Amino acid sequence: MTGYSDATIWLIILAVALGTYGLRWSFLGVFGGRPMPLWAQRLLRYTAVGVLPAIVAPLVVWPAATQGAPDPARMIAACVAVAVGVATRNVLASILGGMATLYAALYLIT
Amino acid sequence: MSAQADLAARSRLTPEQNRALQRSPRQCLRHGFVQALPFILVLLPFGMLFGVVSSDAGLDLGQILGFTVLVLAGASQFTAVQLMIDQAPALVVIVSAVAVNLRMAMYSASLVPWLGGARPRDRAWISYALIDQSYALAIQHYEKHPRLNLDQRIGYFLGAVLATCPFWLAATLLGVWLGNAIPQGWALDFAMPITFLALIAPLLRSPSHLAAALVAVLASLVFAFLPSGLGLFLAAPLAMLAGAGVEVLMERRNGARQ
């Protein structure tokens, strides 16, 4: 790591750490036990289903392992994971189903 | 709630929900720990990769551990190191790496109804350990078992944290020491998408949740050309608006019918 002094590197680490902690602490720390406004609660109910699929979708369609080329094996595995999860409501079954499908599909397709 | 009403409400719960309600906080901790174990599959390769990349980039062990312990956020750590490899100005590195974590503020907000009543000290460590995995696991557990008390919720969260965060650190160290030891054929790159999908699927229990997830998928693909973290920060609020919008529409329609 040429170009950065040790002090600069530690400055970067500490600033990123503080910034990240600030984001994590923000609402939990400030709002605490006070109730959030109703409209905010309504929006926040959809945080998990709004954020997680948005993280995953590009990774499924353009996987890093294939340098971004769409890969049928990974897409099928993703569909199976969702299907098993919706059907069984069981997180572990869904993970195992998805990974098993991925290995089977990679073996059969390539 | 009167005892009678409470009993009536309890009898409407599924056996699984009743079992969850009867766990002591310590049992909740164990439950969260066990349920979080599959995430080690995700964290191990991801953390090892960070160890490899950051030691290749020339960071010393102390600095690598500094990132992993103090920042504790994979995507943001990778962003910072990648930009440092590209010799970006320190301010650009800092702002980009923090921006990748903007979703954490949304996590924080969405946990307020469930954990906001905790003591400030508890909220402080919960905030520190609020990673994708602990959040996703906790929120689907809380929504599935809305009647858990605060101690049970905190216990579950702590269990999930203990099964994930220490392994992130261990994985980074392994990466520094072992280098590229995991064969590509294991396709562990895809363990992360699969585990997230497994967490999302049980949450898709109403048309409004489904609408939010669909908008999230479409918008994240449309905005994929934007720099890392930014697309997500547009897609997620759109998806949340869609979910809330469908919820309002459904309430209106139900109201009109009654």
The domain ranges of chain A are: 1-45, 62-110
Same domain for B78 and B106: yes
pTM of structure: 0.79
Are residues B74 and B141 both part of a single domain?
yes
pLDDT in tens, B74-116: 888 988 887 888 788 898 889 888 877 888 988 999 999 999 9
Does B159 lie in the same domain as B105? yes
In a domain, B4, yes or no: no
A12 neighbourhood in chain B, CB within 8 Å: 80, 84, 90, 93-94, 97
B171 in the same domain as B51: yes
Quick one: pLDDT band at residue A67, thresholds 50, 70, 90? Answer: confident
Whether A29 and B95 have beta carbons less than 8 Å apart is answered as no
Spatial CB neighbours of B102, under 8 Å, sequence gap ≥ 6: A23, B229, B232, B233
**C-alpha distances out from residue B144 to A89, B17, B136, Å:** 10, 8, 12
Distances (CA, A) of B88 to A15, B98, B173: 15, 15, 26
Question: Sign of the C-alpha dihedral, residues B116, B119, B120, B122?
Answer: negative
The whole domain housing B19 covers 12-187
Whether residue B1 is contained in a domain is answered as no
Residues B208 and B172 both lie in one domain: no
* B56 and B159 housed in the same domain: yes
B65-69, Cβ contacts within 8 angstroms, sequence gap of 24 or more:
B65/B169, B65/B172, B65/B173, B66/A10, B66/A13, B66/A17, B67/A13, B67/A16, B68/B168, B68/B169, B68/B172, B69/B169
Mean pLDDT to the nearest integer, A77-85: 95
Residue (of A46, A50, A36) closest to B113 by Cα position: A36
Question: Of B187, B216, B247, which closes a domain?
Answer: B187
Does residue B233 lie within any of the structural domains?
Answer: yes
* B237/A contact by beta carbon, under 8 A: yes
Q: Does the pLDDT at position B184 exceed 60?
A: yes
> What confidence tens digit (pLDDT) does each residue in B41-64 have?
878 877 888 888 888 889 999 999
Number of domains in chain B: 2
Mean pLDDT of chain A: 89
A89: confidence class by pLDDT, cuts 50, 70, 90: confident
Distance from CA of A70 to the nearest CA of B (A): 13
Q: Are residues B102 and B151 in the same domain?
A: yes
pLDDT band, very low/low/confident/very high, at B180 (cuts 50, 70, 90): low
Domain boundary among B156, B187, B218: B187
Chain A: closest CA distance from residue B258 (Å): 22
In a domain, B237, yes or no: yes
CA of B101: which chain A residue's CA is closest?
A20
Same structural domain, B218 and B180: no
SS3 B129: coil
User: Is B155 among the domain residues?
Assistant: yes
Residues in A closer than 8 angstroms to B35, CB to CB, are 91-92
Does B217 lie in the same domain as B180?
A: no
Q: How confident is the model at residue A90 (pLDDT cuts 50, 70, 90)?
A: confident
Q: What is the DSSP letter of B227?
A: P
- The answer to whether residue B121 sits within a structural domain is yes
Co-location of B64 and B107 in the same domain = yes
Do residues B183 and B218 both lie within one domain?
Answer: no
Least CB-CB distance to A20: which of B73, B85, B200?
A: B73
Q: Are residues B18 and B93 in the same domain?
A: yes
**Is the predicted pLDDT of residue A14 greater than 50, yes or no?**
yes
- Residue B6 resides in a domain: no
Question: Quick check: is B7 in a domain?
Answer: no
